[in-house]
Structure formats: structure tokens, C-alpha cells
């Protein structure tokens, strides 16, 4: 039976994110800067009560020992534990500070009996997301209990989902022009606006919650995530919350992005002329597991005439593959098998990890190469070829292939 309503995604108009009704954030009058240089907001932020001692204490408890993977350099050690530089960390704290200060839960204290600072709360949450370690293990490294880690992480997730949403939205006209220019410059793909891919977040479920709907093709219980990325492997659109047993074409069809494209509200810029005197509209590239549509170009099958398009197409699509590999590598909570997660809260965790992925890029930070995974799919996953072919989409792909042949 087809689901009746959309799942968790950042929509292009209001980007209103569903929240657990009992855990909603209170509206704040204070606005968060959406500057193109987010780190610049840190210097002008209110630094009252900024805690710098938590890191000294944490570093003393978790030093680089012989044989460990912890870097000896303190700055690199910070990035190892939290995936971000200290400057990016300060920016993240500035986003959520007001929310974390205004809602101090009872009993949220450390072993010295003092209320946890915003910095320590953010550090606890980032460590939980980055390592994927148990709440008990994360708590031990900070001198707090499992319950505190649970509370702190969820409060951080709520605050980030609300305050960081401007880091994940569909680009405006000028930004989209820049993205298209980079795709054409790098891959010779004119009017290309991005690359799409999907992955599974594996989990275990209580026996009462298990069903074939959540069981994917490699027999894991999982939740799907679909993302569209730009030329920097930065997420532009995310949808998640759907069960892992759903097919990729159906996931696409149930997304808000699909509905906007089909109604002419997305990827609706002017077509441009190609070298063979045909035209190409705005489009994105996707793997063979996606349908071929007028606005979604997929590769030729092995039975089709060999075309240079496939090589160029795969190179562009790899941006989305890389984004998910970095996402799961940086935020290992998404790569480990989640133990009986709350399926209503898991989409928020996924979205916030995507926000953090973008914030790293927006702040001019970086992900170390050894952090990314070699791939983002489950062991044994095989891409299922989608046979859905739109006639207009076929014509668009043929025009693009002919153009690439002409400009060789």
C-alpha cells in the first residue's frame, strides 16, 4: 500500500521540518546569520559564558597514546574527535547557544556538580554523532552519564535542525548559475544543476516493529535517505524517513523535489542550445537505479550503443556518491547499525548530519581523506536497473550524447 503522506525533508519554500510534538523548540526572535561566510558570524556573536576549559579536560582524559589513532597535534586531535575545526565548532555553538541556554533540563550537570556549558553540550553531541559509539562510552569520555548524553544529543539535534536550516536549501538563481557553470566547466554538461543518489541507514528493530517494508534488498532493516548535491558535493535537497524496502524510483516519486519538477516549479530555467543545434533543459544526473526523465538524465544501458556520455555522466554522478561517503564517514552514527532507534527521531538525526556536512564546506573547513568511506552502500548491495524511460527524457539524453561527441 502506498504511503499517504510525505516524509521528512527540507522543502524549498518554508523548509518546515516535522518535529516530535512533545519536543518542539520555542520560537525565538533572534535571527541567525545566513552569511555566505558563516564563520564570520562567530566574531560578532555574544560570547558570554564561553567555556574553554572543557577541551583541556577532554584532551587530558583522551590523550594521543602510543598505537592509538589520535593525532599528537592538538588541533588535528580536535578534528579527529569532533570532525570540525575549532573555528567551525565555535560557529556551531553560536547557532544553538540561545536554545541550549534557554532550556536547561533538570539534572544536566557534570561530575563536578556544575551545569554543563553550551560548548560541552555541543562537544558531547558532535562526539556521539561523529563516533557512533554508545552513549555510555561517549559519556565516560566527558565524565557524564548515559542519560545526560541522550538528553544533550537530542536537544542539540532539535536546535540545529531549527537554527541551521539555512545551510541546506535549493540555491537561488545566481547560485544555481554558478553551479551549472562549474558542471559544464568540469564535466562538459551544460545546464546540469546537480547529482542525485540515495543510501540506507541500517538499524535493528524490536520484533513488534519489524516488517518487510523496512527490510531492504540485502535483508537489513533500514531507512532511506535521498540527496541532491552541487559541484562541491554539498547537499541541496534531502528527503528521508521512508522504509528501506521502498524502491529508489518510488522514493523519488514520493519526494517533494519530484513533485516540484513535475509541476514546473523546479529545474525550470531557460533551455540552452547545444553544438548539434538541439536544446537541453535544466537537469540533474542520477544512477541507473533512477528513471530516465526529462529533468533526470541516467546512463545508457550496456545493451545500448556505447556512448561517451556514460563516462562523463559517471564522473558527475560520483559527486553524490562522494557526498554520502563523506557523510557516513564523518558522522559514523549513520554508518553503524543503530540499535532500535526511534523512527520518528531518526530522520532529524539524519538531516542534522547533512547540515553539519554542509556547514563544514560553508565554513571553509575540510574532511580528512581517510575519514570518508570507500562506498556508502551495505555490503552486498547491487544497484537495481530502473527500466522506466520517458520518451522526452530519452531524446534529451540523445541530444546530450550527440553534443558531447561534437565537442570532442
Over residues 72-93, the pLDDT tens digits come to: 999 999 999 999 999 999 999 9
Any domain includes 13: no
Residue span of the structural domain in which 92 resides: 37-163
Are 187 and 252 part of one and the same domain? yes
Are 174 and 289 part of one and the same domain? yes
Most confident of 29-38, 108-117, 258-267: 258-267
Residue 233 CA to residue 357 CA, distance in Å, equals 9
Residue 107 CA to residue 128 CA, distance in Å, equals 20
Task: Please state the domain count of the chain.
Answer: 2
Q: Would you put residue 87 in left (φ > 0), alpha (ψ -120 to 50) or beta?
A: alpha
Residue 179 CA to residue 66 CA, distance in Å, equals 45
pLDDT digits (tens, 9 = 90+) for 153-162: 999 999 999 9
pTM: 0.88
**Among 60-69, 103-112, 332-341, the least confident range:** 103-112
Any domain includes 23: no
Are 201 and 156 part of one and the same domain? no
Are 178 and 150 part of one and the same domain? no
Any domain includes 26: no
Classified as helix, coil or strand, 374 is coil
Are 143 and 253 part of one and the same domain? no
Q: Are 316 and 192 in contact, with CB atoms under 8 Å apart?
A: yes
Please tell me the predicted confidence (pLDDT) of residue 16.
40
Any domain includes 58: yes
* Pairwise pLDDT comparison (193 vs 108), residue with the higher score: 193
Residue 327 phi, psi dihedral angles, 5° rounding: -60, -50
Residue 238 phi, psi dihedral angles, 5° rounding: -135, 140
Are 194 and 152 part of one and the same domain? no
**pLDDT of 236 above 80:** yes
Residue 149 CA to residue 155 CA, distance in Å, equals 10
Are 190 and 221 part of one and the same domain? yes
Are 190 and 326 part of one and the same domain? yes
Q: Could you say which of 132, 163, 194 is where a domain stops?
A: 163
Are 150 and 180 part of one and the same domain? no
pLDDT digits (tens, 9 = 90+) for 110-143: 544 568 999 999 999 999 999 999 999 999 999 9
Crossing angle for the helix pair 74-82 and 118-131, to the nearest 10 degrees: 70
* Pairwise pLDDT comparison (247 vs 211), residue with the higher score: 247
Crossing angle for the helix pair 309-330 and 346-362, to the nearest 10 degrees: 110
Please tell me the predicted confidence (pLDDT) of residue 60.
92
Are 220 and 319 part of one and the same domain? yes
Any domain includes 399: yes
Any domain includes 31: no
Please tell me the predicted confidence (pLDDT) of residue 266.
98
Any domain includes 259: yes
Residue 40 CA to residue 246 CA, distance in Å, equals 42
Any domain includes 176: yes
Q: Could you say which of 139, 163, 187 is where a domain stops?
A: 163
Are 190 and 238 part of one and the same domain? yes
Q: Could you say which of 163, 195, 212 is where a domain stops?
A: 163
Are 142 and 188 part of one and the same domain? no
Quote the strand ranges of 255-391, DSSP E: 272-273, 279-280, 283-285, 296-297, 338-339
Amino acid at each position: 500500500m502506498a504511503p499517504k503522506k510525505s516524509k521528512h525533508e527540507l522543502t524549498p519554500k518554508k523548509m518546515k521540518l516535522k518535529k516530535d510534538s512533545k519536543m518542539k523548540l520555542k520560537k525565538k526572535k533572534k535571527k541567525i546569520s545566513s552569511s555566505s561566510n558563516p564563520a564570520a558570524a562567530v566574531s560578532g556573536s555574544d560570547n558570554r559564558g564561553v567555556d574553554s576549559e572543557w577541551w583541556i579536560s577532554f584532551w587530558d582524559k583522551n590523550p594521543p597514546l602510543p598505537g592509538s589513532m589520535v593525532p599528537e597535534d592538538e588541533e588535528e586531535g580536535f578534528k579527529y574527535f569532533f570532525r570540525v575545526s575549532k573555528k567551525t565548532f565555535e560557529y556551531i555553538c553560536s547557532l544553538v547557544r540561545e536554545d541550549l541556554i534557554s532550556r536547561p533540563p533538570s539534572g544536566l550537570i557534570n561530575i563536578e556538580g556544575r551545569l554543563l556549558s553550551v560548548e560541552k553540550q555541543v562537544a558531547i553531541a558532535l562526539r556521539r554523532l561523529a563516533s557512533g559509539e554508545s552513549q555510555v562510552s561517549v559519556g565516560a569520555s566527558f565524565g557524564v552519564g548515559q542519560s545526560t548524553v541522550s538528553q544533550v544529543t537530542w536537544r542539540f539535534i532539535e536546535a540545529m535542525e531549527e537554527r541551521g536550516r539555512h545551510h541546506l536549501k535549493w540555491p537561488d538563481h545566481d547560485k544555481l548559475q554558478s553551479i551549472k557553470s562549474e558542471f559544464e566547466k568540469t564535466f562538459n554538461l551544460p545546464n546540469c544543476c546537480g547529482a542525485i543518489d540515495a543510501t540506507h541507514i541500517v538499524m535493528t528493530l524490536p520484533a513488534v516493529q519489524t516488517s518487510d517494508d523496512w527490510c531492504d534488498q540485502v535483508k537489513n532493516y533500514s531507512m532511506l535517505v535521498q540527496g541532491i548535491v552541487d559541484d562541491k558535493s554539498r547537499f541541496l535537497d534531502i528527503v528521508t524517513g521512508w522504509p528501506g524496502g521502498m524502491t529508489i524510483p518510488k522514493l523519488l516519486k514520493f519526494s517533494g523535489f519530484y513533485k516540484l519538477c513535475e509541476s514546473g516549479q523546479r529545474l525550470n530555467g531557460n533551455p540552452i542550445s547545444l553544438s548539434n543545434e538541439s536544446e537541453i533543459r535544466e537537469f540533474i544526473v542520477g544512477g541507473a537505479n533512477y528513471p530516465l526523465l526529462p529533468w533526470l538524465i541516467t546512463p545508457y544501458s550496456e545493451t545500448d550503443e556505447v556512448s561517451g556520455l556514460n563516462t562523463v555522466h559517471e564522473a558527475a554522478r560520483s559527486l553524490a556518491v562522494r557526498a554520502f561517503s563523506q557523510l557516513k564517514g564523518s558522522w559514523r552514527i549513520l554508518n553503524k547499525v543503530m540499535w532500535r532507534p526511534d523512527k520518528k527521531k531518526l530522520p532529524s538525526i539524519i538531516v542534522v548530519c547533512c547540515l553539519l556536512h554542509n556547514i563544514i564546506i560553508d565554513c571553509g573547513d575540510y574532511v580528512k581523506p581517510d575519514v570518508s568511506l570507500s562506498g556508502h552502500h551495505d555490503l552486498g548491495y547491487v544497484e537495481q536497473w530502473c527500466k522506466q524511460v520517458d520518451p522526452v527524457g530519452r531524446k534529451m539524453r540523445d541530444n546530450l550524447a550527440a553534443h558531447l561527441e561534437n565537442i570532442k
